[in-house]
Chains A and B, each alone.
Chain A
Amino acid sequence: NAGVTQTPKFQVLKTGQSMTLQCAQDMNHEYMSWYRQDPGMGLRLIHYSVGAGITDQGEVPNGYNVSRSTTEDFPLRLLSAAPSQTSVYFCASSFDMPGQGPNEQFFGPGTRLTVL
């Protein structure tokens, strides 16, 4: 049981490049989400999904796309990287659906992204 896995661990991009951050979980969780963590800002929700084929925006969705074709995978796409997207990105999953339980989040190890 690997939990939540993320790749890559580190990435450097140039402004304007695109890339996909991968996230997978093997706990059969329906709810998955992406956060970014910046100094002094706390974890901020980018996008989330309540099941395969269903995604929605969080607090800071601009510049990011997501899709959920399977229960296990929830990739995050940066369409045209900007220096403001330099951050640490965490993927998380939860057994409970929003409004149905305590919503304990299981986090991946994170991807540290630098945009030059």
Chain B
Amino acid sequence: SQKIEQNSEALNIQEGKTATLTCNYTNYSPAYLQWYRQDPGRGPVFLLLIRENEKEKRKERLKVTFDTTLKQSLFHITASQPADSATYLCALGALDFGNEKLTFGTGTRLTIIP
């Protein structure tokens, strides 16, 4: 069966260090992968998209990699700040019997410690 796993439920990182979050998937052939940020009591907010034929995408302090051989995406936040503390969700877009389907992981709660 199809499965998306985000590396851990919670991750604590010292301010200024790089935070690395993992999204692994099985039994998918995703066309693209998205990352969202969710703050407590709020809806997810889109951050980055990476397509299956792209290895890496950057946006300011954010970097996403996508390895379709390893079936894994890594999400990096460099020079992390306490304001980066949030839950981060990955979502895979894939064709499912001819329909495009977006499936979300359960998220990783990131805390940046001052």
A26 an interface residue at 8 Å Cβ cutoff? no
On whether the beta carbons of B4 and A104 are closer than 8 Å, the reply is: no
In the complex, what residues of B have CB within 8 A of residue A45's CB? 101-102
Q: Would A103 and B44 be within 8 Å (CB), given that A40-B106, A42-B4 are in contact?
A: no
B99 an interface residue at 8 Å Cβ cutoff? yes
Using C-beta atoms within 8 Å of the partner chain, give the interface range for chain A.
20 to 34
Q: Count residues of B near A (Cβ-Cβ below 8 Å).
A: 25
Bound-complex Cα distance A99 to B102 (A):
10
B42 an interface residue at 8 Å Cβ cutoff? yes
Report how many A-B pairs have Cβ atoms within 8 Å: 57
Interface centre among A43, A92, A102, A109, by most chain B C-beta atoms within 10 angstroms, is A43
B41 an interface residue at 8 Å Cβ cutoff? yes
**Chain B residues within 8 Å of A, Cβ to Cβ:** 4, 32, 34, 36, 41-46, 49, 51, 89, 91, 93, 95, 99-107
